[in-house]
Amino acid sequence: MINFRSTLSLLLLFHFFGAPSILAQDHPTKASPFDAIRWSEQQVQVQVGGKWYIPIAIDGVEVEKILEKCRQQWPGQLQKRFAEDLMEAMALLGHEPGGTVTLRLKASAAAKDVVLEGIPNTLGKRQRLQADRNPQPSPMRLSPSWLSKKQVEQEIAIFSAALRDQFAYLHLKGVDLDEAIEQEVHRHYSRGLPTRMPPVDLVMILQRVLMQFGDGHADVRSSNFRLGEGQPFIPFLLGELGGKVIAFRTDRSALLDPQYPYVVSLDGRPIEECIEEWIPFIAAGSPQLIRRRAVGLLREVSIWRRNTGGIGFSDVERKMHRPFAVELVSMDGKKTRTLELNPTDQKPTYGEWPRSESRLLDDNLGYLRLARMDQEAVQEVYRWMPRFRDSDGLIVDVRGNGGGSRAALLALAGFLIGAEESPWVGNFAVYRKSSKFDDDHLANRFMHRLDSDEWTPEQRQAIDRAFANFKPEWQIPNGFSQWHALLLDRTGHPQEFPYTKEVVILSDAGCFSATDIFLGALELHPRVTLMGTASSGGSARSQRFTLPHSWIEVKCASMASFRPNGWLYDGRGIEVDIEVHPDPSYFIEGGRDEALETAAEYLSNPAGN
C-alpha cells in the first residue's frame, strides 16, 4: 500500500520549495523515446515513427513496472509523470537509459510483439510531450474589425459545440443553450443577425449567454474588449458594505469624503440602477458574488454613463472623459453632497486587502495571513505554524483571497489533525468527459477517484463514511467521470505537529475558487469557526477555447464541485458561523478591523463562546 502522507509531503516540498539536492540533479533522464502519448481508459499508447503501439517494455524494463513506480512516486499524476518523467521513473527502478533505447511494443492487444532497436531517446521528444500536456496560453490574437454573417453563425456553432463537450454546468440551471443564444441575438439585433458584425457585439452576446449558467469562473473576452477594462475610469475605489456602496481613495488613505461615505448616484443615475443594468453580464452565482463584481465594474465610466445614439466615435470619447457628478450621503442617510470629478485613464486597483502580515498577537494568539493561495501561502504556513505551537488560539485571515492552488489547504490541514483524529473529506467532484481531458484531469486539484488504490485503509474509511452521507443537491447527468474526493490528512512534513487549540478563519466575499475550498473543507473541523461574511462561491477546473474567426476566448468550468453536505460550491459560497460586517473605516489604512477584533475576543474568552 502506498504511503499517501509521505508522498503528499514530498509533492508539497518539491513543488513549492524545490527537491532536496540528492533528487534535484539534472537526470540525463529528461528525455523520452516517444513522439506522442495517448490514453484509452488506463491503457497507455505511444507513437513511434508515425505508428501507434501499446508499449510492453523499454530496454527490458516492463512498462507495467514503470507505471506502478509512477503511481507510487507521484500519486495522482500517472499520465503526467509517464510523459514527462519516464526516464527518472526507470532510474528509480535501477535502469538509466542512454541516448537510444530498445522498445518492445504491440500494434494491438491481440498482435504479436514488435521489437524496435536504436530508437532515439531525446530531450526534444520529452519537451514536445510536456508541451502537449501543458499548452502555454498564446497572446490573444487581434480580432478582425468585422465578421460576416456566415462567420458569426459558425462562431456560434463552435461555441455551442465546445460547451456541450466541455462545460460541466451546462444543465445546472435548466437553461436551454440554443434558446438563450437566440434570445440574446434578438436582444442585440431585433431583426436577426446583420450581414456583418463587430466582434465586440459577439463578445457581449456570448457573455450574457454564458453568465446564465452560474459558473463563477466563466468569461468571454477578445483582444479589443473585456468587460470592465475600457477607459476611462473613476479616480477612486468602490466597496460593498451591507447593501451600500462606499467610496474611498485609491491609496486607501481616507474615504472619498469621511462625512459622506456612501454613494447615492453616478452622473445623476441611482447607484442601484447602475448595478442592476450590468447584472446579466455577471455569472448567476451567489448574491455576494454578483454584488461584489457589479460594484467593481462601476469603476469603468462607460458602464454607467450612457451613450447618446447617433453621435460619432470622437464625440463618444469626449463625452466619456467629461467631468461627472458623484452624489454621496452621510452615515445616517440624512445629508447629501455632490462632487464633480474628472475621469482618469488609469484603472484604480484594489490590491491586497487587508494589508497585514502574519504575527503573534496580544493575548498569545497566532495570526496567519494568507493573501493568495500560491507558493508563498504554503511557505507562510510552514514558516509560522511552528512559531504558533504554544499559542492559545489561531486566527487565519483569508479575506480578499481570490484563490489559486489548494496546496496551502493541505499544508494547514496537516497541522489541525489531532493525534487521535482521522482524516476528512473536504470536496467531492466529477468532471465532464471530453477527449480534451485526461483520466487524471483533477489530479492538480489533489483529487482522486474514490476507488483509487492510492488511499490508505484509514483514508478509504473516511471517504466511505463521507460518501455514504453525500446527497448532491444537483443530480449529475450522463457524460461525467466517476466521483473524486479531496482528502485532508497529515502530510508527513517535517515541521508538522498537531495544533489542538481553537481556530478562527476570517472570510469575506473576496474569497473565491481555491479559497472557497479552503473555507468549505476546514469548516468541517470541530475546532474551526468561520467568521466575517460569506465567500463568493466557485470551484471549476476551468478550460479555455478560442473561436477561430473572431479570436474570442471563452473560459468555462469542466468540473462540478460539491461540499460533503451535498451543496455546490458554485452559486452559494461558504456561509460563516459568526457574521461580522466591517464599518466604513475598514477599507482605509489605519481603520478599524472589527472582524479581527471579534476573532481575538472570541479566542481569548472561550468560556463566553
Instruction: Say yes or no: 370 and 496 in one domain.
Output: yes
Q: How confident is the model at residue 608 (pLDDT cuts 50, 70, 90)?
A: low
Short-list 217, 185, 221, 223, CA closest to 203: 221
Which residue among 310, 341, 372 closes a domain? 341
Q: What is the model's pLDDT at position 312?
A: 52
Same domain, residue pair 271 and 397? no
Per-residue model confidence (pLDDT) at position 2 = 37
Question: Which spans in 469-557 are helix H?
Answer: 514-522
Residues 20 and 91 in one domain: yes
Higher pLDDT, 287 or 129: 287
57-66, 312-321, 441-450, 506-515: least confident range: 312-321
**Residue 21 scores a pLDDT above 50:** no
**pLDDT given for residue 18 in this prediction:** 38
Map grid coordinates 488511499 to a residue.
455
The number of angstroms, rounded, from the C-alpha of 609 to the middle of its chain's C-alpha atoms is: 34
pTM, to two decimals:
0.79
DSSP E strands in 439-512: the ranges are: 447-449, 484-488, 503-507
Phi, psi of 272 (to 5 degrees): -70, -30
Q: Is pLDDT larger for residue 121 or for residue 24?
A: 121
Residue ending a domain, choose from 341, 376, 399: 341
Residue 174 lies in a domain: no
Residue 403 lies in a domain: yes
pLDDT exceeds 90 at position 497: yes
Question: Among residues 341, 369, 389, which one ends one of the domains?
Answer: 341
Peptide bond into 232 cis (omega under 30): yes
Kindly state whether residues 15 and 58 are assigned to the same domain: yes
Is position 564 within any domain?
yes
Q: What is the pLDDT of residues 148-177, one digit of tens each?
A: 999 999 999 999 999 999 999 999 999 999
Report the domain count for the chain.
Answer: 3
Whether residue 95 is contained in a domain is answered as yes
pLDDT, position 439: 84
- Residue 262 maps to which CATH number? 2.30.42
Asked whether residue 161 is assigned to any structural domain, the reply reads no
pLDDT tier, 17 (very low <50, low <70, confident <90, very high otherwise): very low
Report the DSSP beta bridge partners of residue 515. none
Q: What is the pLDDT of residue 7?
A: 39
Non-local CB neighbours of 14 within 8 Å, separated by 6+ positions: 23
User: Both 386 and 534 in a single domain?
Assistant: yes
Report the range of poorest mean pLDDT among 131-135, 481-485, 587-591.
Answer: 131-135
- Range name among 55-69, 129-143, 295-309, 384-398 with the lowest pLDDT average: 129-143
The answer to whether residues 402 and 280 belong to one domain is no
| Rounded CA separation 164/176 (Å) | 11
**In a shared domain, residues 9 and 126:** yes
Structural domain boundaries enclosing 114: 4-133
In this predicted model, what pLDDT tens digit does every residue of 364-377 receive, in sequence order?
999 999 999 998 89
Residues 401 and 281 occupy one common structural domain: no
User: Which range (48-57, 67-76, 365-374) has the least confidence?
Assistant: 67-76
pLDDT-based confidence at residue 22 (cuts at 50, 70, 90): very low
Distance in angstroms (rounded) separating the CA atoms of residues 190 and 422: 60
Residues 406-431: tens digit of each pLDDT: 999 999 999 999 988 999 999 999 99
d(CA 391, CA 125): 52
Residue 15 reports pLDDT greater than 60: no
Whether residue 269 is found in the same domain as residue 405: no
Q: Is the pLDDT of residue 16 over 60?
A: no
Looking at the structure, tell me whether residues 38 and 124 fall in a common domain: yes
- pLDDT value at residue 308: 47
For the stretch 481-493, pLDDT in tens is: 999 999 999 998 9
Q: Are strands 336-341 and 324-329 parallel, antiparallel or unpaired?
A: antiparallel
**CA–CA dist 232, 305 (Å, integer):** 11
Q: Is residue 156 part of a domain?
A: no
How much is the pLDDT for 135?
56
Give per-residue pLDDT as tens, 198-238. Answer: 999 999 999 999 999 999 999 999 987 888 888 899 999 99
pLDDT number for residue 3: 42
Mean pLDDT score across all residues of the chain? 89
Do 325 and 370 reside in the same domain of the chain?
Answer: no
Q: Give me the pLDDT at residue 220, please.
A: 96
Residue 38 has pLDDT above 90, yes or no: no
* pLDDT over 50 at 25, yes or no: no
Radius of gyration of the chain (CA): 27
Quick one: CA torsion of 429, 432, 438, 444, rounded to 10 degrees? -30
Cα–Cα distances (Å) from 324 to 308, 316, 320, 346, in that order, read 16, 14, 9, 16
pLDDT of 72 higher than 90: no
pLDDT tens digits, residue range 233-285? 999 999 999 899 999 999 999 999 999 999 999 999 999 999 999 999 999 99
Q: How far apart are CA 118 and CA 32, in angstroms?
A: 13
Residue 121 shares a structural domain with residue 67: yes
